[in-house]
Structure formats: C-alpha cells, structure tokens
Amino acid sequence: MTDTSGTTASLLHEVERRFRERAIDAPRVQAMALLAHALGTDRAGVLARLREPLAAPAAETFESLVARRLAHEPLQYILGRAHFLDFSVRVAPGVFIPRPETEQLVETALEAWDEAHGWAIDLCCGSGAIAVALGRARPNARILAIDRAVAARRMALRNARDHQLQDRVTVCGADLLTAVATNADALGDLGAIVCNPPYAACGDVTQPEVRDHEPALAWEAGPTGTEVYIRVIPQAAALLRPGRPLLLELGYGQEHAVRELLASDGRWDRVTIDDDFQGIPRVLTARRR
C-alpha cells in the first residue's frame, strides 16, 4: 500500500476532516476547490499531484484559504466566482451570491418573455447573473439591470463586460422601479420585469455564511419578508402593458401572501407558481391585466 503521509492527498484529507467538524457542506468538494485555487489549476491538476508533497508557498496559500472558509466566509467570495446555469460570474464581499434556485427564475422568464415585445428588467440585480443569463440566451435583447447598492452595480457591469454584453445590458442605480417610472417614455417598450428581491424577514437568517458575510441589503426585506413585494407589485403594474409578465422569486412559504398582494392590487391575472428543484414554490409569474 502506498504511503500518502506528507502528500497532497493527506493534506486534502486533513482539511476535509476540519471542514466536516465545522459543518461545512460538501467538505471534500470545497477542499478540492480551494486547493485548485491555491495552485492556479483545476480539479484535474489537483488529482495529478495527489501523491506529491505540496510546496511550502502553495501550502501556505492553501491554509490561508482554508482558514477563511473555516470562518464561514462563502466559498464563492474566496474563489471570486460563482457558477450560474452554464457560466460563471464574478462575486465579492458586498455582492449577493447567485443561488441555484434563481436559475429556475431565469428559465421561467425566458419562457414568459417575448423579446419582440420589448426589453427586460433585472430588478435587484446583485451580481447581474440574471441579466447576463437573459442576454446570453437572447442575442438581440436589451436588459436593464437595477440595484441600489454601488458594489452590486459595479460587479454587474464587470460581469456584463466579461460576457461581451456591455452594449445590451445597461446597469442603473435606483430604489426599485422609481427611476424607470420617471423615464418610461424615453426607455421605450418594456417586455418583462424579473425580480429576485430581498425576502428574508428580520432575524430569520441564521446561516453564518449569509448572516455574517453577505450584504443584508440584498437578502433582508423587513419584519415580515414581504416588504419589497408590497412595493414592486404596484410599481410594475404601472409600467407593464397588458399581457406582459412580472416574475418574482419567492421565499419559503410566501406564495399565499404574494398571491394576496397581487389580488388586492387588482391589475394582475394568469398567476402561476413553479416549484424549485426541492419542490418549494419558488417562481411566481403574473401577467398585467
């Protein structure tokens, strides 16, 4: 049997153990990702070095990355990138990390939005992952990405440039749809509004990766968690033409409250809700009446 003590493999096993003790999800996958980042390689490059000792500079870099993850800094911040659908985007502290659940929002939006009816809005855009996804899928479409956080807008613009979408994705700073409402005539026809808003109630988030590291402005809505929906729904109704869709990502257990908000507004119909991959009602689509 081959002795692996002192090798890259043994170091990986030790980090995996430390991650498991701190309840870090997918400890082996995350240890591998951090080591690949420290070495400037990929998973295959790590696997090719498993029987070799890790050079001191790389070991020191790896340990510094591991320490950050043990402090529950999100893996995506450490790596500087987050995977989304079939691509990746840059992320950094101060910018919300796109989630797998939001991929369902994009897929539903692409089914609901007819680009011939006008441009789309990525509201509360964060990293710009939704805007980039829409732009990649619709080569002739225009997207307006809106966020009130300066760090998010800067990152969304960088990601649009990375994917050669800077001519079709415009990034705007605004409080929800207020800037669009005051410039609606100049902007032209609006085909869809897609929004992944803050929807956590105050005190509901206990996961340290989110609570201690991601910007609360991007995930905490207020005492009930529905505060942003309450504002977005009438704003969107004032902007969209009949038949045009509003798509909202929902928090856990919020589908009934948001349906009631749409009903009380009175300007929406054809409301549907799609489940995410865990079977949780996640994406609401409503059409302007």
Q: Which CATH class is domain 81-288?
A: alpha beta
pLDDT of residue 188: 73
Residue 210: CA count within 13 A, CB half-sphere: 16
For residue 3, name the pLDDT band (cuts at 50, 70, 90): very low
User: Measured between alpha carbons, how far is 139 from 83 in angstroms, rounded to an integer?
Assistant: 21
2-16, 110-124, 195-209, 217-231: least confidently modelled range: 2-16
pTM for this model (two decimals) = 0.94
- 185 has pLDDT over 70: no
**pLDDT score, position 5:** 52
Q: With 80 as the cut, is the pLDDT of residue 183 above it?
A: no
Task: Determine the average pLDDT of the residues in 8-30.
Answer: 96
Across the range 90-97, mean pLDDT stands at 98
Q: Which residue has the higher pLDDT, 6 or 169?
A: 169
Q: Is residue 181 very low, low, confident or very high in pLDDT (cuts 50, 70, 90)?
A: confident
Cα–Cα nearest to 165, from 194, 136, 189, 144? 136
Beta bridge partners of 268: 288
Which pLDDT score, from 0 to 100, does residue 1 have?
32
Q: How many residues does the chain have?
A: 289
Q: Give the pLDDT band (50/70/90) at residue 6.
A: confident
Residue with tokens 């045009």: 244
Write down the pLDDT at residue 56: 93
Q: What is the pLDDT of residues 236-285, one digit of tens each?
A: 999 999 999 999 999 999 999 999 999 999 999 999 999 998 999 999 99
Helix 255-265 / helix 227-239 crossing angle, nearest 10 deg = 40
Q: Return the closest-CA partner of residue 34 out of 257, 24, 248.
A: 24
Which pair of tokens denotes residue 99? Answer: 């989630």
Percent of the chain with pLDDT over 70: 97
% of the chain with per-residue pLDDT over 90: 93
In the chain, what are the domain boundaries? 8-71, 81-288
pLDDT at 67: 98
